[in-house]
Structure 1
Amino acid sequence: MIKCVAIDDEPIALSIIQEYCRRYGDIDLKCFTSPVDGMEYIKTTFPDIVFLDIEMNSHNGITMAKELPENTCLIFTTAYSQYALDGFNVDAIDFLHKPVFYPRFERAMQKAMLLVNAKESHTKKRDTITLKVEYKTVVVDVDDISYVEAMDNYVKVSRPFQPTLISQITMKEMESLFPTDRFIRVHRSFIVSLDSIDKFSNRRIFLKNYDKYIPVGRTYNDSFNNLYTIFKQNDK
């Protein structure tokens, strides 16, 4: 599913893009009449493709394009053809002149998909794990996980700035799901992400974005020694 965002202060123009995306297929499109809300969404979700109007009541799309996240595929939509050169100067993949007809939209999407697919082929696949949460199956990006804590027959998966997940799985099973070079078992009740570690002593590990500390169990001294070695190597 290709993630797309369309920003235009004309609702009719957005409805046309929405219909064309539905016709093209396999597109998850979010529409915004507010440039501020649209840009905020883009900067937090990193869509694959952005459809952006140029002349809006309060904002100029050329200026906004310079604030897009790196590697965002940009397609301008505007009624003013004189902006075409400006559009390509900010690395827009295409320029759709209103009123936009479907064949022209389709050609722009084909160009955009070539770029999106090329970028995906050069991007490392993100590691994910699958957990049962209540009655749902949830796919979790391991980059989002700071630590896992045992809770009787369940585990608590903590992710900063995101909801905590509770899943019925053993710590041993949980440990087997993680990449061994990125997570470490430091206590019978705790697994921590190496990327989330801020500082540590021989008995405590402090994590980024958390006030609490993670205890290091006595039976996990080997894990701590490995942790110390890893961080000493990274300091070199």
Structure 2
Amino acid sequence: MKLRCIAIDDEPIALSIIRQFCTRAGYLELDTYSDPITGTDQIRQQAPDIIFLDIEMPGFSGLDLIKLFPKQCLVIFTTAHADFAVDGFELEATDYLLKPFSYDRFEKAVIKAKEQITLRRLLNNNSTAIDFPKEEIITIKVEYKNVPVRLSSILYIEAMDNYVKIYQTDKKVILSQMNLKSILQILPSKKFIRIHKSYIISRDKIVHFSKRQVSLINRALPLPVGRVYADSFWRDMQE
């Protein structure tokens, strides 16, 4: 059984060791990312079987990133700090590898994940058919055409005079002759939030935030939070 894996770590040596161990195991197909934003975006798109995740990275914590991953992904934390172990297991991580770890310890963690995946697949094969929710779509006016847009593809929306620019996770941009207030009315409030007179963002694309700015997946620079929106945004994110 081949298992798809993604590793996120800001240390090239750590990624190299994980790659060597995956090759040695023989059944682990691995992609590696040193940039947490790019890695998280790929995890959300690919939903790999196993994620090897460093906890302490510049500007990011694996303990926060794990909350953004698809629920079916199994996470194995890799870190040099033993005091994060309790936090990792509270977030239902499959295992916790303390650097530097041996191949035997790595293999033990992977086998534990493999057993969980095997059991899950057996249960799914024996279960009755599941009705999955349909993809939510809104229709946007682009010039003289109606264009369907998947809500899950929207990263953020920017106001530009009498137009809005809809930035998508695949880096495509849609320009529509609408204003921000109009498009906000057709977006579900549980999925989108206005943070500035010029910006609406997708809640589930947030990597981390403060009262002043928000970082989104697949975007290098943070977006500002407007003074008028700061308190309501902060309250919404705490609920």
TM-score range, shorter chain: 0.5 to 0.7
Q: Does 1:18 align with 2:3?
A: no
Match of 2:35 in 1: 34
The whole-number CA distance in structure 1 between the counterparts of 2:93 and 2:71 is 12
Identity rate, percent: 40
Deviations 1:17-64 (A, max 9, x none): 000000001111000000000000000000000000000012000011
Deviations 1:186-222 (A, max 9, x none): xxxxxxxxx89x9xxxxxxxxx959xxxxxxxxxxxx
Q: Pairwise mapping of residues 186-197 of structure 1 onto structure 2 (< 5 A)? A: none
Match of 1:89 in 2: 90
The whole-number CA distance in structure 2 between the counterparts of 1:118 and 1:11 is 33
Match of 1:48 in 2: 49
Q: Pairwise mapping of residues 198-213 of structure 1 onto structure 2 (< 5 A)? A: 209=148
Secondary structure at the aligned position of 1:110 is classed as: helix
Q: Which runs of 4+ in 1 moved over 4 A?
A: none
Secondary structure at the aligned position of 1:99 is classed as: coil
* Structure number, greater radius of gyration: 1
Match of 2:104 in 1: 103
**CA displacement at 1:71 relative to structure 2:** 1.5
Secondary structure at the aligned position of 2:32 is classed as: strand
**CA displacement at 1:123 relative to structure 2:** 2.6
The whole-number CA distance in structure 2 between the counterparts of 1:27 and 1:106 is 11
Letter in 2 for 1:6: A
* Number of corresponding residues: 131
Match of 1:61 in 2: 62
The whole-number CA distance in structure 2 between the counterparts of 1:209 and 1:29 is 34
Q: TM-score, normalised by structure 1?
A: 0.53
Secondary structure at the aligned position of 2:45 is classed as: helix
Match of 1:143 in 2: none
The whole-number CA distance in structure 2 between the counterparts of 1:32 and 1:50 is 11
Q: Is the 8 A contact 2:6 2:43 kept in 1?
A: yes
Letter in 1 for 2:31: K
Q: Does 1:113 align with 2:106?
A: no
Q: TM-score, normalised by structure 2?
A: 0.52
The whole-number CA distance in structure 2 between the counterparts of 1:58 and 1:21 is 27
RMSD: 2.1
Secondary structure at the aligned position of 2:14 is classed as: helix
Secondary structure at the aligned position of 1:96 is classed as: strand
The whole-number CA distance in structure 2 between the counterparts of 1:66 and 1:123 is 24
Q: Pairwise mapping of residues 150-165 of structure 1 onto structure 2 (< 5 A)? A: none
Q: Structure 1: where are the runs of 5+ without partners?
A: 126-194, 199-207, 211-236
Match of 2:71 in 1: 70
User: Which structure is richer in relative contact order (CA contacts within 8 A, separation 6 or more)?
Assistant: 2
The whole-number CA distance in structure 2 between the counterparts of 1:27 and 1:98 is 20
The whole-number CA distance in structure 2 between the counterparts of 1:22 and 1:85 is 30
The whole-number CA distance in structure 1 between the counterparts of 2:72 and 2:7 is 16
Deviations 1:157-187 (A, max 9, x none): xxxxxxxxxxxxxxxxxxxxxxxxxxxxxxx
Q: Is the 8 A contact 2:54 2:77 kept in 1?
A: yes
Q: Is the 8 A contact 2:47 2:72 kept in 1?
A: no
Deviations 1:59-89 (A, max 9, x none): 0000111111011111000000000000001
**CA displacement at 1:124 relative to structure 2:** 4.8
Secondary structure at the aligned position of 1:30 is classed as: strand
